[in-house]
Amino acid sequence: MFFLSIIDTVTVTFSLFIVFLITLSAINKSIKARRAYVNLLLRVFEYGRVSEGKLNSNINSRSRSKSHQITEDANKSEKLVAVNGNTLINRDNVLLPTLTENTLDKEKFTATIKDEKISFNFEECLDYIKAGVEAIIEDEVTSRFEAEQLRSWNLLARTNCRYEFINWKITLIWVIGFTVRYSILMPLRVFVCFVGVIWLTICTAVVGYMPEGESKRQLVNDILKHCFSVLSSAISAVINYHNEENRPNTGICVANHTSPIDALVLMCDTTYSLIGQRHGGFLGILQRALARASPHIWFERAEAKDRHAVAERLKQHVSNPNNPPILIFPEGTCINNTSVMQFKKGSFEVGGVIYPVAIKYDPRFGDAFWNSSRYSMLQYLYMMMTSWAIVCDVWYLPPMYRQKEESAIDFANRVKGVIAKQGGLVDLVWDGQLKRMKPKKEWKEMQQVEFIKRLKAD
């Protein structure tokens, strides 16, 4: 009898909480509980940072007397720096690939080599040897698919330094935090996520039977914002939107890609159409639910290889002014919140206006990056729901247009540079798909051409 009363009490409490949460989302109101929670975490992190700094200063003072000369030599190094905790080497840009619309004319290049006499000196190879050694130490691509390193411990990430045992106060805070995250927050978040997905499925199914028109589009916009606001509570998301006057209403919206929740973050503010490959499982449920209420472009794996078919469907969507803006992540893969990698040119060939959006997560509260080659979607959701919170900033940037005589690749690079600058991210030329495949043959040939040009110049 006693256990039944406890179960009834917990059930009623959870039910009231869900009703309260849905009501707040429906009327677009907030009691700012999540922001107060985030501010409390910042104070706790600051105390931990100070304690960690004292520990490190004591360690450094003891080691400085033993290795003073080694420390001086290390400080004089011009090539080893720490940028965002992920980069050790400052590289010159002389060996980076320069992408153009035209492919390399290999026959003409070979004929030029045969016709001209080229002298060779060993020192001409030194730049390439240096670049190779730097890549062995740390390449610019691999480090972008690993978790972003923190400047100070957030009482969450696993480390080998045992910061949780600096002093008894930090240990107590860590134990309390661990208990709260796994015993209270995680069960509550899983429950909210389950209810949110069911609520999204029901709402989109009901709206899907309405006749097409302006009233349906407005209702879909309100309902989707409401449903995604409920889902954002499952990860304690705190989202700051900037420059809302640039929020897209039509056309193509492109953004940097860190996580599957990027779409959730943006759709808490307005409705987007999505484009992507059909999935099964949890993502498949969300895709089918969204397709009932608003137009989206889902394609099969075989169809994805047909760029022309996908581009044609994209043009048809953009040409209809009644369709919501379509959200595209041109990188094609998730990057670890420190960089922006090569944008695929497909979405920039369609024409029309491009609305850039920069997304930057605060890694102190939880790592939003999804390493799909290491973690499954279920494991990723588990890590999200056991983190402190997901805090991010979203910047809507002014619309951009393709200029005359500007290639799609140049336009994509220009948009990418604007997003990287606003989000404080590193602008890289490398293709994010390099984590799954070998470098393209064309890139190797471009390096060969560059090397021949250097020999001819001498």
3-state SS assignment for residue 359 = strand
Report d(CA 121, CA 131) in Å as an integer. Answer: 18
Tokens matching residue 145: 């698919």
pLDDT tens, 312-357? Answer: 888 888 888 888 899 999 988 888 888 898 898 888 888 778 999 9
**Could you tell me the sign of the dihedral formed by the alpha carbons of 60, 64, 65, 66, in that order?**
positive
Per-residue pLDDT at 360: 93
Does some domain include residue 266?
Answer: yes
Label residue 60 by pLDDT band (50, 70, 90).
low
- Give residue 406's region: left, alpha or beta (phi > 0; psi -120 to 50): beta
Average pLDDT over residues 26-52: 73
Does some domain include residue 382?
Answer: yes
- Tell me if 330 sits within 8 A of 408, measured CB to CB: no
DSSP state of 400: B
Does some domain include residue 308?
Answer: yes
Residue with tokens 């691999």: 142
Instruction: Write down the H helix ranges in 80-213.
Output: 106-115, 126-137, 168-179, 186-207
Report d(CA 250, CA 217) in Å as an integer. Answer: 13
Average pLDDT over residues 298-307: 66
Label residue 172 by pLDDT band (50, 70, 90).
confident
Per-residue pLDDT at 451: 73
Contact residues for 194 (Cβ-Cβ < 8 A; gap 6+): none
Strand pairing report for 237-242 and 339-340: unpaired
Per-residue pLDDT at 61: 62
Average pLDDT over residues 259-288: 83
Residue range(s) defining the domain that contains residue 412: 157-435
Report d(CA 267, CA 261) in Å as an integer. Answer: 10
Q: Which residue has the higher pLDDT, 224 or 17?
A: 224
Does some domain include residue 137?
Answer: no
Strand pairing report for 326-328 and 273-277: parallel
Report d(CA 382, CA 41) in Å as an integer. Answer: 20
Q: Does residue 156 carry a pLDDT above 60?
A: yes
What is the average pLDDT value for the chain, to the nearest integer? 76
Instruction: List b or e across 128-140, with b for residues whose CB sees 16 or more CB atoms inside 10 angstroms.
Output: eeebeebeeeeeb
Q: Does residue 292 carry a pLDDT above 50?
A: yes
Does some domain include residue 84?
Answer: no
Per-residue pLDDT at 266: 93
Number of domains into which the chain is organized? 1
Does some domain include residue 216?
Answer: yes
Element (H, E) at 41: helix 33-64
pLDDT tens, 392-427? Answer: 999 999 999 988 888 888 999 999 999 999 999 988
Does some domain include residue 339?
Answer: yes
Per-residue pLDDT at 74: 44
Does some domain include residue 267?
Answer: yes
Per-residue pLDDT at 246: 92
Backbone angles phi, psi at 431, to 5 degrees: -80, 130
Backbone angles phi, psi at 102, to 5 degrees: -85, 140
pLDDT tens, 79-100? Answer: 434 444 445 555 555 455 555 5
Per-residue pLDDT at 366: 85
